[in-house]
């Protein structure tokens, strides 16, 4: 029996990693199997080259090439990474389809809904629940400024603000295309984190009512 796939989406600094870690700890405490996985498969050399370029802010040679490449990577991810992980229980993905669609829309001048609909056709990679962290870009920038790592493409305030808007559009397009829910909520404070974690855990419990007990 496959487990539930939960995707955490949002701009850098929104609180995805913090929420992921909270969920992993809480699930372990309740003996709910919850694995975690990243956004890409990294199983195709050609796709990897294109994805690295996109993440660095370099558009692909064409929109068609970009979409075909990331869709191929998503298919590989679903087959070789997601499916085996889900066979063991629930999985939380730190970014997935919506993040890829927003990256494409940021670099290639087309509506983000177009990319969401194309990637949503990979049904084996559809998250049953998506949590979109709508933390204000200004707060995200403040959080990132306190980190020792260098800033990445998309983390400067103007681009982050644009990305935040793209995520909102992508979330609407995702539900329109798939009928699957998107939980939208900021992660600005500890009570926000508590609320988000509780909502996600409730869905995980419903998906695995007979979780193994040690």
Long-range contacts of 26-31 (CB under 8 A, 24+ apart): 26/197, 26/201, 27/90, 27/201, 27/204, 30/201, 30/205, 30/211, 31/211, 31/212, 31/213, 31/214
Strand-pair category, 34-37 with 129-133 = unpaired
The domain limits of the chain are: 5-207
Residue ranges, the chain, pLDDT below 70: 1, 209-214
CATH architecture of 5-207: 3-Layer(aba) Sandwich (3.40)
User: What are the beta bridge partners of residue 34?
Assistant: 90
> How far is 138 from 141, CA to CA, in rounded Å?
5
Residue 202's pLDDT is: 96
């Amino acid at each position: 029996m496959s487990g539930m796939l939960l995707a955490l989406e949002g701009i850098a600094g929104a609180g995805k990693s913090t929420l992921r870690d909270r969920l992993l700890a809480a699930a372990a405490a309740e003996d709910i199997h919850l694995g975690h996985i990243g956004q890409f498969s990294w199983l195709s050399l050609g796709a990897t080259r294109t994805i690295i370029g996109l993440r660095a802010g370099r558009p692909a040679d064409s929109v068609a090439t970009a979409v075909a490449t990331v869709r191929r990577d998503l298919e590989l991810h679903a087959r070789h990474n997601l499916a085996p992980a889900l066979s063991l229980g629930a999985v939380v993905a730190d970014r997935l389809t919506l993040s890829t669609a927003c990256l494409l829309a940021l670099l290639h001048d087309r509506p983000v809904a177009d990319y969401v609909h194309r990637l949503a056709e990979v049904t084996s990679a559809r998250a049953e629940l998506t949590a979109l962290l709508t933390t204000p870009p200004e707060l995200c920038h403040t959080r990132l400024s306190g980190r020792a790592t260098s800033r990445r493409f998309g983390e400067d305030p103007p681009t982050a603000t644009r990305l935040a808007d793209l995520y909102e559009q992508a979330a609407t397009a995702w539900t329109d295309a798939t009928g699957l829910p998107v939980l939208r909520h900021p992660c600005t404070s500890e009570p926000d984190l508590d609320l988000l974690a509780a909502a996600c855990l409730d869905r995980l419990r419903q998906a695995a009512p007979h979780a193994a007990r040690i």
